[in-house]
Amino acid sequence: MSNYAKILLVDDDKDIALSFKLALQYEGFSVEVFDSSIKALENFRPKSFKLALIDMKMPEMDGIELYKKIRNKDEFIKICFITAYDWDNDQVKEFTDCFIKKPITLEGLVKMVKREIEQI
């Protein structure tokens, strides 16, 4: 049983997703991972997650579109975007104030996730 909130992680880079998952699980978080935005949406259950970490650039559906579809199902979930690309922060802030820039250390990721969950 996890001491922390359940996290949804969606990233098409399986190595990054596994690294993030292991680091967060080590800290006691429960993490559900999907390497496809479509699979994540098909399996999404409202009120199941406190936080979603969503890669901005994915092949089937980008992170902003996935954000909108998840938000329609669950207005309370906190959503953070993850990307290695330069995105205009004003564009992202229209949707969320949580933005994770890759590369990020696993320690940095854990600190950021803990901070975001404390604010919920």
Domain spans in the chain, listed from the N-terminal domain onward: 6-118
For residue 2, what pLDDT is reported?
Answer: 47
Q: Which residues contact 80 (CB under 8 A, 6 or more apart)?
A: 51, 52, 53, 54, 96, 98, 99, 100, 112, 113, 116
How many Cβ atoms from other residues are within 10 Å of residue 33's Cβ?
Answer: 18
pLDDT of 83: 84
3-class DSSP assignment, residue 53: strand
What number is the average pLDDT over the span 97-111?
A: 92
Q: Whole-structure pTM over 0.85, yes or no?
A: yes
pLDDT (tens digit per residue) in 44-96:
999 999 999 999 999 999 999 999 999 999 999 999 999 887 666 666 667 77
Quickly name the fold that domain 6-118 has.
Answer: Rossmann fold (3.40.50)
pLDDT per position as a tens digit, 14-55: 999 999 999 999 999 999 999 999 999 999 999 999 999 999
